[in-house]
Chains A and B, each alone.
Chain A
């Protein structure tokens, strides 16, 4: 005992002595400036002592300070985004090192992480990847950073509203795209209950975005189930690197032609404050507020839900069902009521002349009569970073957002006081990380427009009363007033609608607010069928970690292992899921391993990875991936990959239980639904064009969906490194493709319609290609163009895939990052085109016309304050377009912005 204490003391002493013996504590201080232009000082530039883990970043004045036991001479490695890396030799401690670095005109030098989860030069990435950094976001004409994603090749964006934007790659456009992962600072960004990615609502504030990396194509092998079609990773700025107070003020103007609503302002204010308290501790606080009169969905065309197509006609048709008109979805067949008249003299001729079915819908209300989408979006976030050692950093971070917006999912929803939070604790080491996070969802006062308005109609005048009034009036109009069929219907509606609450009146508002605040399916006095509000408080808890074993295995290969665990807690009190008896838990876990090896003197790099996942409701799945990068010349690489990806059915596909469109019950695929609705005992029949056939559909267990994809790509610099070419082509095959089928139970009596999730036995194939060119012209001009294509083949007729993607799309960008005096001016223009395509959604399906848009901006830098003034616009020609059936028409947004301390 005593001996051991003595031993320990001796060791401690030895350590201390050793330390003091070589402890030549000295400091190096300096300033980094741009070598050209206005020679402004550069912030957030990395200064590392070569061969060590010691390093720092320049502060907002471009100054840095390193303190340590340095052995001189040493070399400092200076790296700044958009600048050439420079090495500076330092012979002794100095307080006034002045370093100029040259801006880099060379393309393809970025380092990407997400392709292999290890830092790799983008040119050498084994899979297709796109990256944008903060500087590119600053120079983009888009009014929000999410829009910048659209400029990458192969990307489609669905804008359900001003703030609700969902990107996707390789198909399946929709605001609730469950085949595309969005990962923000390592956290899966999908709302666990509502199944849409909330990045644009509660994600990072624009000022805090460091970079975005996009992996088009299957990426489950590294990012877990879900990333079948792609993964978008958004990373925030470290408070150690980007310090000080930044803010932006963006003032805009929308609806300038007053086509859909009055011209109105757009406000976007953001602030970020980061402070390095010591070399070990730093924090940041970010916040952003967006407020505007949102785009308006005003598609009043007539939609046939049975055949899923737009048809001619307006409210003068008895069974009109407008796309953005609510309460008119339920097709009521009034023909049987006429049989009451058939025996009565004077009526027979009329009754006999009527068709065998006469469908009538209740009078609906237009979207603009129901909601005034005054979008407000408030985000707040922050992090506390603590460097436990030089190599180990702990991060505690959180994002919280709230907002009002509208979105189209299985129905059209008005999101009111939606609140969402993500909180994370992470430990980052050089070789490993472990993080735990949770997503907390609260749907607030959000409600379903269709359900609310239908129930509003029933609360005002039940259909049991409205329909007989309508029929009696119709008969009278035909047989007393001599009207023809069409006139009689119009007059009958006027009669039955007598006293109908007019939008904007107290009567209307009182009743509407009453119904929308009552939860779905919860009957109460005055609302026997419940209301339209959903109460979703679903949460996700996740833990994941990764270890890079390369330092142990470098003689053999680079090896990476990782794993994750997730638990969903579905909690909608029966308003969205079948959870009226209590929350439903779903657990899943998985692990992955990746081995990379360079062969033939680094000419070929082979990476093999594999991942195993298990969800408590499904059998485990193994997904392998193999990639190869072949260096054909310097800065010219060919990549080949074989990837598999799959996804467990989403929480909604497993457990949803929701009445949509007035009559269709969306249900999950869980065994419980089959038993509860007795789908096999009391058989359900296939439905074609809204009518049941005699084919009985047997409901079976459903399985995760998988895709196997093969891809070849090329990325390389040509023409004296001025032209970056990136091209890919892929082929994929889906297995057990998850879709929905509409079936009918009791076709003779209740005609109950269900939409059940099914796996298609068809081998649906997908293929596509993309090519992008970036050319650096002299004087900081650059021109870029890309074209991409995605296609789904072997889709059986009548099969709903929800692919919803144009066959071709293209972007052309012309930009200058610095011209004029001291290169203070910059501009960019982006032209974007996407082909017409069939949009398929639960809410509505029809072909959307081709879209052309032009975004442009001109900026002026104020180097002293690192500020930038920008005048720009999205869709500057104000050519309205829609990106999804039921979605608003998006027009031009023009803005002026001032951003402080942003570069």
Chain B
């Protein structure tokens, strides 16, 4: 009897517990589904592809030595690398032995100057027009003393690089890109370059001061700025020492200034009644030192305004490397166009030896002939600074 009556209760227990076991699966803190993470290809990073390419063994050794191989091995990152081949290292005087002998810090800085982080720029993506695109490299220099306004956050100055492309080829700064898109990796692209792209270490004002051929130029700059308060942001000195600027300066040598000043002063003296021979001797004497710009006797002639006009005609607001100029002369605007908008500017052309630009001519409207840029020890004509490029030319350019 008891058993029979207990049956419904037992059945109820079984039913209840089976229902419980069926349903009782609580969820707690269920994760929220997000977008699926991108598939990572760690096997084909720049580091791994460079290491497996025999043309880049010195680069590979240098990357390994500096630890930058780890940076270029991040599969999720993006890089554009201008990769000097073994031949390029050697051409730049950096054999494997030399590379292994360099201080690590210095080698790291040089290598980082070849890397544009955060972007994958294939050769086809480099614009063919002027002005050049400006890209920050992985290399930065301390800005704390150079940019007082930003010192609290200590933003470092990015060393920039200028990829460019024309019908004849592509360049990084003035170095030819011999093998565009040489390595396409999962985290970036590497272009083979014909030489090491050495990073500049000085700003324009420092680079110009370091060369004794520019004492007249710097004196002219000082005279041109003399009617402005010290450190005025509109002064030439500020522009040349501003590390964030990016300029092209055609820098006439002392001889070029003397060649301009002596006839000009002679002419002024003659028109004031001084006999021509005496006038020439006096003019030669006056122009024999950079002090000519501050000579009171010439105060009415070499005025700051006059010099501003002349100097502005020597500066372009963008950075133009020699390969960026055409082989047939074409006109380019200068800072003078900021005052005289329709001024025709400078007529500039470059000449090439193979992919390297090895010559540059520039002619002002008032010049009879084009000035020629002097080559550096490496054979290039462009001289680099942190905030611009300059050419050492043999004539002062005349805007009219």
Contacts and interface: CB of A to CB of B under 8 A. Distances in A.
Interface in A291-331: 298-302, 310-313
A781 B2 CA distance: 12
A483 B13 CA distance: 61
Interface residues of A, number: 57
Interface string B143-176: 0000000101111111110000000000000000
B118 A340 contact: no
Contacts of A337: 153
B117 to A, nearest CB: 3
B135 A346 contact: yes
B246 interface: yes
Contacts of A343: 244
Given A483-B74, A777-B9, A877-B20, A346 B29 contact: no
B152 A345 contact: no
Interface in B14-46: 16-17, 19-21, 23-35
B303 to A, nearest CB: 33
A700 interface: no
Contacts of A833: 23
Given A468-B153, A849-B30, A344 B76 contact: no
B76 A479 contact: no
A851 B26 contact: yes
Contacts of A312: 32-35
Interface string A479-495: 11111101100000000
Contacts of B72: 482
B25 A852 contact: yes
Nearest to A487: B76
B16 A349 contact: no
B8 interface: yes
B28 A853 contact: no
A814 B34 CA distance: 43
Interface string B64-75: 000000011010
A472 B118 contact: no
Nearest to A259: B28
B230 interface: no
Contact of B24 (A301, A471, A480, A854): A854
Contacts of A816: 9
A308 to B, nearest CB: 14
A237 B35 CA distance: 59
A383 to B, nearest CB: 41
B32 A340 contact: no
With most chain B CB atoms within 10 A of its CB, the pick from A299, A481, A880 is A481
A889 B29 contact: yes
A69 B223 CA distance: 130
A299 B29 contact: yes
Contact of B138 (A301, A349, A482, A779): A482
B20 A852 contact: yes
B77 interface: yes
A511 interface: no
B16 A831 contact: yes
B134 interface: yes
A869 interface: no
A889 B24 CA distance: 15
A446 to B, nearest CB: 26
Contacts of A313: 32, 34
Contacts of A879: 24-26
B97 interface: no
B257 to A, nearest CB: 31
A32 interface: no
Given A340-B155, A482-B74, A852-B24, A349 B29 contact: no
Interface residues of B, number: 57
A475 B17 CA distance: 60
A300 B29 CA distance: 8
A889 B28 contact: yes
A593 to B, nearest CB: 48
B137 interface: yes
A542 B165 CA distance: 88
A347 B272 CA distance: 56
B115 interface: yes
Contacts of B244: 343-345
Nearest to B246: A345
A829 B16 contact: yes
B8 A468 contact: no
A778 B246 CA distance: 98
Nearest to B116: A482
Nearest to A852: B24
A498 B136 CA distance: 27
Contacts of B115: 482
A81 interface: no
Contacts of A792: none
Given A468-B152, A475-B155, A831-B16, A298 B29 contact: yes
B6 interface: yes
A343 B143 CA distance: 14
Contact of A479 (B2, B35, B117, B152): B117
A871 B323 CA distance: 91
Contacts of A476: 140, 156
Interface string A331-351: 000000100110111111110
A37 B78 CA distance: 83
B5 interface: yes
B249 interface: no
A273 interface: no
Contact of B29 (A301, A471, A812): A301
A478 B138 CA distance: 9
B315 interface: no
Given A349-B119, A472-B155, A480-B117, A881 B28 contact: yes
B12 interface: yes
B117 A349 contact: no
Contacts of B20: 831, 852, 854, 877
Interface string B91-135: 000000000000000000000100101110000000000000011
Contact of B77 (A349, A487, A850, A851): A487
A139 to B, nearest CB: 16
6 contacts: A345-B134, A345-B244, A347-B136, A349-B136, A479-B136, A814-B13
Given A344-B244, A479-B117, A882-B29, 17 more contacts: A300-B29, A302-B32, A340-B153, A341-B155, A344-B157, A345-B244, A346-B137, A476-B156, A480-B139, A483-B74, A483-B76, A484-B118, A814-B13, A849-B26, A851-B26, A854-B24, A877-B21
Q: 7 closest Cβ contacts across the A-B interface?
A: A346-B136, A346-B158, A312-B34, A482-B117, A852-B24, A849-B27, A879-B26
Interface of B: 2, 5-6, 8-9, 12-13, 16-17, 19-21, 23-35, 71-72, 74, 76-79, 112, 115, 117-119, 134-140, 150, 152-160, 188, 244, 246
